[in-house]
A and B are shown apart, each in its own frame.
Chain A
Amino acid sequence: MKTKFNVHNMTRIIFVAVGGQGNLLAAHLLGEAALAHNIPVQISEIHGMAQRGGVVESAIVMGKAQSNIISRGEADVLVGFEPLETLRAIGKCNKDSYVISNTFPLPPFTVAIGMGAYPSIEETMEKIKSQVKKLVAFDGSTMAREAGTLLSLNMVMLGALAGTGLVPVSAEMIKQTIAEKTKKAFLEMNIKAFDRGFAATSKVANA
């Protein structure tokens, strides 16, 4: 896939995940791939207490922008690694945004011990779908497990982002970056996971 990219265009992408889901690595790989394409790229992260089960958010801004954070309503693409977190971050989107979400839930601890209820995933996805340009939701966690390890969920989501054709970075370049920057022992699983995610959105894009 050849991508043409005008640096005057900007692509603003939000990755949102629960600590431990590998969001920061995914964002970094995307950034490295952009650098290899010579596309201006900036990433900002908030991961205050991520290791203790909190939320991790990365913003990836490609193109001429100088700002490295993304305001409410200004994300072109939102990639949610966990459905409740997709919902929580939805204010970053506008009616023209593209949303990709994993549907496999990781209930917050408060829910797990019966304080508060996890919202219906189906209803949540319906609500989101009715308000944005496009929503592609799929069970990325199962895809990752099938690829060999749940830890490859970040590769599934990265693949799904590449599959939309909305990022000015080719899937080949991202895969090459994965090969260069991640552990060799996981490479095969990572690429498999990436391809599964890629198929999940490229199918939709072409449908």
Chain B
Amino acid sequence: MNELLQDSPDKKMLLLGNEAIVRGAIEAGVALVAAYPGTPSSEIADTFFQLQKESGVYFEYSTNEKVAMEVAAAAALAGVRSLCSMKHVGVNVAADFLMSLAYLGVRGGMVIVSADDPSMFSSQNEQDNRMYGKFSGLPILEPSSIAEAMEMTRYAFDLSEELQEPVILRTTTRINHSTGVVSLGPINKNRATGTFPKDPFRYTVIPSVAMKLHKALLANYEKAAALSDTSPLNFTCGDGVWGIITSGVSYNYVSDALEELGLTSRVRVLRIGFSHPLPDKKIKDFLGKCEKILVVEELEPYLEEGVKVKAQEIGSIIPIRGKGEGIFSRAYEFDPAMVRGVIASYFGVENKNKKPIAIEMANIPQRPPNLCSGCPHRATYAAIREAFGDEPIYTNDIGCYTLGVLPPLSMSDVSVCMGASIGLGSGLGKATGRKVISFIGDSTFFHGGIPGLINALHNDHDQTVVIMDNGTTSMTGFQPDPGTDMTKMGLTNASVSIEALVRGIGVKHVTVAKPFKFKKTIEQIKEAVAFKGLSVVISQEICPMYEKTFKKPEKRTYYIDHDKCKNHRVCLNTLACPAFYLDGEKVEIDESACIGCTLCVQVCPENAIRLRKIGE
């Protein structure tokens, strides 16, 4: 049995934050989980996927976050406990549904995990999704530790059922991707089968129904606020007339700082774990005991503004500071020494920061990530660059292939969010009159690219869309997408054909290219670009890293024949394959890194790249 499923209450385990969330949901008796992967949330989905058979918890990778939320919410409407997980920007995708789901409410407990990414380790922005609590009216819980992530997930289901509305568990990368010790609780094995008593004028959000539901949501808000006020998740510690209000991982940095600065008896702390609605009375009581307040929170001044409103209500004029010059920034994640420094300066005590070692690093080479050796995206990009150079505008999307922005490939002029490459391409083409080539991966195409493609067809945009179909969601760890061949995993899910879909909507020029057939691909792309109107090239080749998870690849490597090599360096300078290196002035291939894709063989003008015969 998988360790995460053991029913051994009080046993201590070392879990990744995302695993702790899974365990919390399993203890709470979750019956249905749906998700679209996205860093730092992916391991929640992946763990439920792995546990699917053994746990009896239904899991699906949904096409996108909105669909995941719809599927999960419907289960909860039917009285079954459900969860959906996504990265912070995924909530934007689901937001249309979320905002009215808040009106609708649920019957079974429903937890929405929003994994935020302060400092944008793997994201295009660092939006603060606590704002979604305020925006939708739904409750938000924010854990400070791994153990708490598990406990809060468990509690979130109860809270959701008590309020009959979904609860948002808002984490940050330092929770999702950190490991800590948790103490297991018992597993709730009562997973009810859902029922759906028809009540159309309760669940069909036409205006007359929505009018009533909004009032119900506001009444629920009051109920949630009362719960927040008595919740042990909002607690105070320490003593003194100086106050700190904090939440999430910032609470840890505050606790350590107060200990290290010797301020535990001079500064009282209000830790907010139930952060929407804010605990009104607790905050006002806290304000009454303080002469000066510091609000410590990453990203937006969510707590700070809430606290200031409450101060106004009780006529308090004590200084309350959070974001601003010399205090905290709205940008990037915090760290312990930085928080300690601000606390020390705000309260005017001596700080004890240790001096970091400084060594001149101006000329230290960076280590940027790169497309893997044998990556088919490199082949597609190289073919298009060979055909058109810098002439077209290249719009790009979200996935491994975004790494094509790096030179020498340089194949992304603009990339914003999931699925945007096609719409961006249409608008840029119209505004500039230039040819636009839009790149999008298979998973991203299913997720958010299809409406853009239909739009480009319907509105007759002169644009070429290259769907880079490598059969999986590589960037986040090889999760299946609707096009994935599931038989390899012994599963029977249908595999949606991108080609049939594109032809089915009526795109006139559709080609399927095999990017490692380099010259043929160049011809195909030239034809597609020459076509007046919308053309689609599906560049199809399975991700070799993904393939490797199923079968050991045949080892076939190539080497440079130095009798033939004239050192043009076309291979090195146009492909930037990580299997290449320079030995002095000689180009060499690291055969332990080469996987034998043959792309370099096809670009070499001297035929100097040769297959290593077995036994050579």
Give A contacts to B, CB under 8 Å.
Answer: 18-19, 27-28, 31-32, 35, 40-55, 65-74, 84-85, 87-88, 90-97, 107-119, 127-128, 131-132
Contact = CB atoms under 8 A, between A and B. Distances in A.
A87 B179 CA distance: 26
B336 A110 contact: no
A48 B121 contact: yes
B179 A28 contact: yes
Q: Is the interface of A mostly helix, strand, loop or mixed?
A: mixed
Contacts of B253: 66-67
B12 interface: yes
Contacts of A85: 367
13 contacts: A48-B122, A52-B369, A53-B369, A67-B253, A68-B249, A74-B337, A74-B354, A94-B354, A94-B356, A94-B357, A110-B368, A111-B365, A112-B582
Contacts of A91: 356-358
Contacts of A118: 365
A110 B367 CA distance: 7
Interface in B560-615: 572-573, 576, 578, 580-582
Most buried by B among A35, A85, A112, A118: A112
B364 interface: yes
A67 B256 contact: yes
A181 to B, nearest CB: 10
A88 to B, nearest CB: 6
Contact of B369 (A54, A68, A128): A54
B14 interface: yes
A41 B14 CA distance: 9
Contacts of B355: 73, 94-95
B438 interface: no
A66 B357 contact: no
A125 B249 CA distance: 35
A66 B145 contact: yes
Contacts of A41: 14, 180-181
Contacts of B356: 72-73, 91-94
Given A55-B367, A66-B252, A113 B336 contact: no
Contacts of B181: 35, 40-42
Interface of B: 12-14, 39, 121-122, 144-146, 173-174, 177-181, 249, 251-253, 255-256, 335-338, 353-359, 361, 363-372, 400, 403, 545, 572-573, 576, 578, 580-582
Contacts of B14: 28, 31-32, 35, 41
A115 B370 CA distance: 15
Nearest to A38: B12
Nearest to B121: A48
Given A67-B255, A69-B335, A88-B361, 6 more contacts: A41-B14, A44-B178, A66-B144, A67-B253, A69-B174, A108-B365
Given A42-B179, A68-B174, A68-B178, A117 B354 contact: no
A117 B582 CA distance: 12
B270 to A, nearest CB: 16
Contacts of B573: 113
Given A45-B178, A52-B370, A114-B582, A90 B336 contact: no
B502 to A, nearest CB: 29
Contacts of A40: 181
B367 A18 contact: yes
Contacts of A53: 367-370, 372, 578
A128 B359 contact: yes
Contacts of A107: 365, 581
A101 B371 CA distance: 28
Given A35-B12, A66-B252, A74 B336 contact: yes
B170 to A, nearest CB: 18
A87 B361 contact: yes
A2 B368 CA distance: 43
Contacts of A90: 357, 359
B126 to A, nearest CB: 13
Nearest to B177: A45
Contacts of B13: 35
A119 B363 contact: yes
Given A42-B146, A48-B39, A109 B361 contact: no
Contact of B366 (A50, A108, A113): A108
Given A52-B400, A91-B357, A94-B357, A117 B369 contact: no
